[in-house]
Amino acid sequence: MVEMHEMVPGRRFDRYHELGQYAFGEKLGLYIVVPQQLIVEVGVCIVYMVTGGKSLKKFHDTVCSTCKDIKLTYFIMIFASVHFVLSHLPNFNSISGVSLAAAVMSLSYSTIAWGASVDKGVQQNVQYGYKAKTTAGTVFNFFSALGEVAFAYAGHNVVLEIQATIPSTPEKPSKGPMWRGVIVAYIVVALCYFPVALVGYWMFGNSVQDNILISLEKPAWLIAMANMFVVVHVIGSYQIYAMPVFDMMETVLVKKLNFKPSTTLRFIVRNLYVAFTMFIGITFPFFGGLLGFFGGFAFAPTTYFLPCIMWLAIYKPRKFSLSWWTNWICIVFGLMLMILSPIGGLRQIILQAKDYEFYS
């Protein structure tokens, strides 16, 4: 996608759907890309609602262990209340500040997570085998895990929008700095994920919670701080993914349905969207299952195989050349991921929902 951003001389594809329209045609490109992007953005917002609520609850339980137990539903509502305010910011000129804060937070709570795990040491009776008792269960958990990995690399959906902000000249195209940015970003991602995954599993085995900060208890002040970092990170990220949705909804209402662009329209549309994601989050507060489901269903296409199909459609590499093989392998893998992970994620949600009392 970084390479395709400026492949047509004198033109830049600043949005995912613009590239889709160039590859597949005006109408078809829109129909292929926009619904998938919407599912991704709405899916992320729902998962962030649950994450924010769970981290707030953990913060409350850690800081005040003797307090009356407050239900997760209320914490998700508290988290949503922030967005009822933030969603009305006119635009995101200050987004670099929000992004920087989010990046610092990510590194901080990841480091706290594995640091506190090392401090806690290997647990008694730790087990490293499969969690599921049956072969079918193990296979479904594997599918769901693939979806969770896909979810972790969600940045591809906004890569063109990010690259659009980099100045570009024929001598110095934007892909130079962008490639450097991508490489640095993935090194940081690796620094965040790998220690948490390896150390967390080593200490807790298969009994680790899908959000490791919930497995950790002590030192209380540090775990409380890490959960607060998660909340700050997720507040910023929610807005980043919600902005394009607001943009799309308002454009459709004004251009297609002839509503008058006004503050009232914005106020209603944005509050309804926040309320909708809050409602879904309260109904299905299953972090791991949601990740697996949305990761496969929405992220696999936009991340793994749509860019490859576009590349084949536009560049038409020679049959059986390296580029041709690489793209086809990614397409097949992405398709399998899209079909299999939602099955695993959905099964996880159904199993968790069995013992869960809705809106209790």
User: Which range has highest mean pLDDT (18-22, 100-104, 126-130, 211-215)?
Assistant: 18-22
Sequence-ordered strand ranges (E) for 84-124: none
**pLDDT category of residue 144 using cuts at 50, 70 and 90:** confident
Tokens standing for residue 133: 């008792």
For residue 209, which of 72, 104, 354, 58 has the smallest C-alpha distance? 58
Kindly report, residue by residue over 208-218, the tens digit of the pLDDT. 777 777 777 77
| 118-156 exposure pattern, b = at least 16 Cβ within 10 A, e = fewer | eebeeeeeeeeeeeeeeeeeeebbebbbbbbbbbeebeb
| Helix (H) / strand (E) containing 105 | helix 95-120
Average pLDDT, the chain: 82
**pLDDT category of residue 325 using cuts at 50, 70 and 90:** very high
Contacts of 125 (CB under 8 A, 6+ apart): none
* Mean pLDDT along residues 29-48: 85
Kindly report, residue by residue over 181-205, the tens digit of the pLDDT. 888 888 888 888 888 888 888 888 8
Kindly report, residue by residue over 112-132, the tens digit of the pLDDT. 888 888 887 887 787 888 877
Give yes or no for a contact between 282 and 358, defined as CB atoms under 8 angstroms apart: no
Domain ranges across the chain: 2-285
What is the spatial distance between Cα 334 and Cα 328, in angstroms, rounded to a whole number? 10
What pLDDT is stored for residue 228 in this prediction?
Answer: 87
- Count the Cβ atoms, other than its own, within 10 Å of residue 72: 16
Tokens standing for residue 47: 């998962």
Give yes or no for a contact between 284 and 290, defined as CB atoms under 8 angstroms apart: yes
What is the spatial distance between Cα 88 and Cα 242, in angstroms, rounded to a whole number? 11
**pLDDT category of residue 154 using cuts at 50, 70 and 90:** low
What is the spatial distance between Cα 4 and Cα 211, in angstroms, rounded to a whole number? 36
Residue 104 reports pLDDT greater than 70: yes
Q: What phi and psi values does residue 128 have, to the nearest 5 degrees?
A: -110, 10
**pLDDT category of residue 275 using cuts at 50, 70 and 90:** very high
Residues comprising the chain, all counted: 360
Preceding amide of 285 cis, omega within 30: no
Kindly report, residue by residue over 80-90, the tens digit of the pLDDT. 998 888 877 76
**pLDDT category of residue 359 using cuts at 50, 70 and 90:** low
* Mean pLDDT along residues 61-82: 85
- Count the Cβ atoms, other than its own, within 10 Å of residue 303: 23
* Mean pLDDT along residues 55-66: 84
* Mean pLDDT along residues 316-328: 89
What is the spatial distance between Cα 242 and Cα 42, in angstroms, rounded to a whole number? 7
* Mean pLDDT along residues 317-341: 87
Kindly report, residue by residue over 282-300, the tens digit of the pLDDT. 887 776 677 777 777 777 7
Between 292 and 178, whose confidence is greater? Answer: 178
Give yes or no for a contact between 250 and 261, defined as CB atoms under 8 angstroms apart: yes
Give yes or no for a contact between 338 and 306, defined as CB atoms under 8 angstroms apart: no
Give yes or no for a contact between 293 and 347, defined as CB atoms under 8 angstroms apart: no
* Mean pLDDT along residues 226-247: 83
Sequential DSSP letters for 175-199:
HHHHHHHHHHHHHHHHHHHHHHHHH
In angstroms, what is the C-alpha Rg of the chain? 21
* Mean pLDDT along residues 154-173: 78
Contacts of 46 (CB under 8 A, 6+ apart): 277, 280, 281, 284, 290, 294
Kindly report, residue by residue over 296-305, the tens digit of the pLDDT. 777 778 877 8
Enumerate long-range contacts of 272-275, CB under 8 Å, 24 or more apart. Answer: 273/87, 273/242, 273/245, 273/246, 273/249, 274/80, 274/83, 274/84, 274/87, 274/242, 275/80
The proportion of the chain whose per-residue pLDDT surpasses 70, expressed as a percent, equals 94
pTM of the model as a whole: 0.77
What is the spatial distance between Cα 187 and Cα 194, in angstroms, rounded to a whole number? 11
